[in-house]
Structures are given as structure tokens and as C-alpha cells.
Amino acid sequence: MATESETFGSSTTERQRERRRIAALCVPFLLLVIFSGFFPLVEMFRISFSESQFTTQGFSLDSYRTMLEEPYYLRVAFNSLWFAAATTVASIAVAVPVAHALEKYDLPGKPALVTIMSFPNSLPGIVAAFMIIVLFGNTGVLTNFFAFLSGSSATDLAVATSVIGLFFAYMYSMIPRAMLLLRGTYAEVNTDAEEAARSLGATPFETFRYVTLPQIKPGLIGACILVFRTALAIFGTILILKSLIVWTLQINRELANGFEIAQASAMATVWFVFVFAFTMLTLRYTSAEVSIG
């Protein structure tokens, strides 16, 4: 009986030690959440209701009412959503076959290819925008190449500061993110099921649609979440190209033009709530897909 008590006591002690270790490991994360997340968000929320321009005092809904009633802010929100959605779809459409090729085929120089294609992840948005100007600006390399082939003016063909140029700049930043995530998903695909489908006469497209796609679907959803959030958060690229007014650029304008900090804080609060709710909802769907698989 004494042995059982000692065993029970030791197991309880070990459980307590494990809880203490977990709590100790969580402390840095909690400090990060509190000081870099909770406090700034709370202060931003307070400022968004402030009646004063330079101090946090009073309570007013004017900033939120402005966003709801003025067509300009509704148009900026619409621009942000449709452009993020369009670049997300295009980026995923490119990333899927690239990830498929990298994982399914023994390509020569694969490490070098992966390094080159993932390199844009390490570049700030300002650099990405500059590269688009170098390629598609008035004196851009590709602009002058196409002008030479077509006989047109390089100025007429330059698209760096248009919506098309911005579209390419966003894709340049987002395709590598989706590709790296999808590569990890492809690594978990059951290749035996694919081989069985092909041995039964399925075409490569049918094998992908009915066997591979259901298996990579959770990763595909995760890539869509990551890319869509990235598209909504991009600032450096849009700050340089300025070809479309989106939410992040408008926040910068509110601060630059008269330092409308309450309006900027209200916009940032709406952005945070939307992105947080979108992420929570889509992650729940992703978790359900993973558990089913």
C-alpha cells in the first residue's frame, strides 16, 4: 500500500513539474503578447474613440461613422478586398503547379531553384516595388524589350505604376509564401494512392483532381489564408507604386495629411477585427479538414 502511495505521490509531483515547465516556457510568449500585442491594440482602440486630435480624451463615434457613411472609405475597403482576393487566386494558381513540380519530380539543381524562388520572402515591399519599376517602368528592361519588338513607345508600354504593375508586385511577394507552405503539404501526400489511380487508367489531371487535391486541400486553404492576409497587410509596395488606394495606404494618408490619428486608429481597428475574424473562421474550417483527412 505504501508503494502505491509513493507511486501516486511521485506521479503527482512529476505532473506538477511538467505544468511548471510549460508555464515557464509560456512566459516569454505571454510577455510578447501583452507588450507588443495587447497594450498597443487597447491604446489604438481608445484613440479611435477620442474626441481630441492629439490627446486621448472624450468619447466619439465620428471616426467609425465616417467610414460607414462616406463613399470614399467604402471604395477603399472594396479596393482592398477585391485586389487581395484577385492576387491570392493568381498566386495560388501559380504556386500549386510549382510546388507540385518541386515535390514530384527530380529536377536538376532543385536546392538552387528553391532558394531562388523563396528569395522574395526576405525582401521588403519597397525592394519588390523597385524591382517592378526596374522591369516595367518607363526605362524598364522588359518595357524596352517589348517596345523594341512592337515598335511602340516605351512610355506607352510601361505598367509599373499601374494596377497591373502592382498586381505583379503583390504576386512577386506572395507566390513564394504559398509555394513553401504547399511544398510541406505535398510531402505528406499518399503517393501509393496516386500510383493506384494511375494504374487503374486515371489521367494525370484526374489523379490530381480526385486523389491529390483532397489530400492537399488543408494546405491549400492554409496558403489562401496566409496569402490573403499578406495581401491585406502589404504597405511598402503600395507606398512606392501608389496605383491603387487600399486600406493600409489610406491609414498612412490619414497620418500624413493633418495627423488624423483617431481616424487612422479606427481604420486600423477595423482592419484588425476583420483579419482576426477571417483567420479564426478559416482556421476552424482548416482544422476540420485536417481531422477528417
Domain boundaries, the chain: 1-48, 66-292
CB distance 279 to 229 below 8 Å: yes
Counting Cβ atoms within 10 Å, is residue 32 exposed (0-12), middle (13-18) or buried (19+)?
Answer: exposed
Counting Cβ atoms within 10 Å, is residue 155 exposed (0-12), middle (13-18) or buried (19+)?
Answer: exposed
pLDDT-based confidence at 9, cuts 50/70/90?
very low
Q: Pick from 238, 218, 266, 282: which is nearest to 84 by CA? A: 238
pLDDT-based confidence at 256, cuts 50/70/90?
confident
Type and span of the H or E element at 169: helix 163-186
Type and span of the H or E element at 101: helix 71-104
Q: Is the pLDDT assigned to residue 3 strictly greater than 80?
A: no
Supply the pLDDT for residue 42.
85
Q: How far is it, in rounded angstroms, from Cα 111 to Cα 128? A: 23
CB distance 160 to 135 below 8 Å: yes
Counting Cβ atoms within 10 Å, is residue 50 exposed (0-12), middle (13-18) or buried (19+)?
Answer: buried
pTM of the model: 0.80
**Any residues with CB less than 8 A from the CB of 255 and at least 6 apart, and which?**
261, 264
pLDDT-based confidence at 287, cuts 50/70/90?
low
Supply the pLDDT for residue 291.
34
Supply the pLDDT for residue 128.
87
- Above pLDDT 70, what percent of the chain? 92
Supply the pLDDT for residue 248.
92
Q: How far is it, in rounded angstroms, from Cα 174 to Cα 95? A: 9
Mean pLDDT of 248-258: 88
In one letter, which amino acid is 277?
A
- Above pLDDT 90, what percent of the chain? 28
CATH architecture under which domain 66-292 falls: Orthogonal Bundle (1.10)
Q: Pick from 215, 261, 233: which is nearest to 48 by CA? A: 261
Helix, strand, coil % in the chain, rounded to nearest 5: 80, 0, 20
Q: How far is it, in rounded angstroms, from Cα 40 to Cα 223? A: 28
CB distance 136 to 143 below 8 Å: yes
Q: How far is it, in rounded angstroms, from Cα 189 to Cα 77? A: 38
**247-256 and 71-104 helices cross at what angle (nearest 10)?**
130
Comparing 123 with 56, the larger pLDDT belongs to 123
Q: How far is it, in rounded angstroms, from Cα 290 to Cα 216? A: 10
Q: Is the pLDDT assigned to residue 293 strictly greater than 50?
A: no
CB distance 199 to 51 below 8 Å: no
125 half-sphere exposure, CB direction, 13 A CA radius: 20
Cell numbers at 256, concatenated: 500624413
